[in-house]
Amino acid sequence: MGFLNGHPPVPVERASELFDYAVEATVGAVAPPAPTARPARIQYSRYRPADFWTNPKYDPDSTKSVVAPAPGPAPAPVADSVPEPSHKLEPGCSLSPSEANTFLNCPARWYFKYMQRLPDPSNGARVLGSAFHKAIEFHWKAVLAKDPRPLAEAIEVHDQKFDELVQDAALCDDENAGELRATGAALVEVYLRDVAPSIQPAAVEVPVSGKIGGVPVNGIIDLVDIEGCVIDSKSAAKKPSGVRPDYRFQVSTYKVLSPKLSGRARLDTITKTATIQVVPQSFEVGPADVQYVELMYPFVRDAIKDGLFYPRRDNNLCSRKWCPFWRACEAEFGGTVE
């Protein structure tokens, strides 16, 4: 069941139809669907970031993006400095859970990252996370190849990846590359020594794809164990207080795309605290999770097509420290990012 702006719940299969109606209703193109007329759920903003208007692929007089050039005078040429929009608005283009989560977290951030493709340099935390992930992946691939490698080799993989990535990173003022590298190596050691031996892997880096709510979606599952449980490991600055919604969304996506998965998932968070801790969190994907992803992917896709790239300054990652696009965001939308 879904909710429409104060109206009673409606069946999921009706929600998509009503969403389309809400879109069309803003331009008066369609009649309200039977059995009862409902007001538009979302009042679409006619605002789009500036370079939308300069691209002939999109009709500035419509609330919906179109692929045909608008009639009338030729559109203004696109300045060299304005990046071409990415393929993300092309019909059939797929979304990943990460992209959808980025959009749900802040549509403007999605726009700067995937449409404008502005530079998105990693900070130290992201470099450490990527190097840690590479080392764990190396370990599992060796195990599955029945050629387990010594811990020292996994740490070497971590160190090499860290050194490679840190070259292009923009470390925060409170980040030190040497300390981060040593911390990352310690995380790899603790995880592979204390946690990995209890896991029986079945597959690693598993690509999945399909359609969810009619939207092409793809992703890569880090690890599946022999019971069909999705297992992820991530580094974090502190202990998590609960399963993060974006992780739940990610795993729910996998379950919908791969029905053979058990639906169970476990996220091992390794804390970068003075005493390293591994905090496992388990959950099972349920019908409500499936309903959520089946509704959200079409919503995200339609919002992208309609250019709804509003900034969400209230989200936890909205800050000068954690959003690399804050300058572009202030220039585009005004306001102040702290």
If binding is defined by CB under 6 A, does position 295 make contact with ligand SF4?
no
Dihedral over Cα of 313, 216, 126, 198: its sign: positive
Least distance between ligand SF4 and beta carbon 105 (Å): 7
Cα-trace Rg, the chain: 22
Least distance between ligand SF4 and beta carbon 88 (Å): 16
Closest CB to ligand SF4 among residues 110, 254: 110
Closest CB to ligand SF4 among residues 58, 325: 325
Angle between helices 97-105 and 245-257 (to 10 degrees): 150
Q: Which helix (H) or strand (E) holds 4?
A: strand 2-4
- CA distance linking residue 135 with residue 181, whole number of Å: 13
Closest CB to ligand SF4 among residues 120, 225: 120
35: preceding bond cis by omega (within 30 degrees):
yes
Straight-line distance from the first to the last Cα atom of the chain, in angstroms, rounded to the nearest whole number: 38
- CA distance linking residue 181 with residue 172, whole number of Å: 15
- CA distance linking residue 169 with residue 154, whole number of Å: 22
- CA distance linking residue 46 with residue 2, whole number of Å: 26
- CA distance linking residue 4 with residue 9, whole number of Å: 7
Interface characters, 134-173, with ligand SF4 (x: CB under 6 A): ----------------------------------------
Which of 109, 121, 275, 293: binder of ligand SF4 (CB under 6 A)?
109
Which of 312, 331, 334, 338: binder of ligand SF4 (CB under 6 A)?
312
If binding is defined by CB under 6 A, does position 311 make contact with ligand SF4?
yes
If binding is defined by CB under 6 A, does position 108 make contact with ligand SF4?
yes
Least distance between ligand SF4 and beta carbon 218 (Å): 24
Closest CB to ligand SF4 among residues 108, 136: 108
β-strands 264-271, 230-236 pairing:
parallel
If binding is defined by CB under 6 A, does position 303 make contact with ligand SF4?
no
Least distance between ligand SF4 and beta carbon 108 (Å): 4
Give the tokens for residue 224: 């599946």
If binding is defined by CB under 6 A, does position 115 make contact with ligand SF4?
no
Residues that bind ligand SF4 (CB under 6 A): 106, 108-109, 112, 311-313, 315, 317-318, 323, 325-326, 329, 337
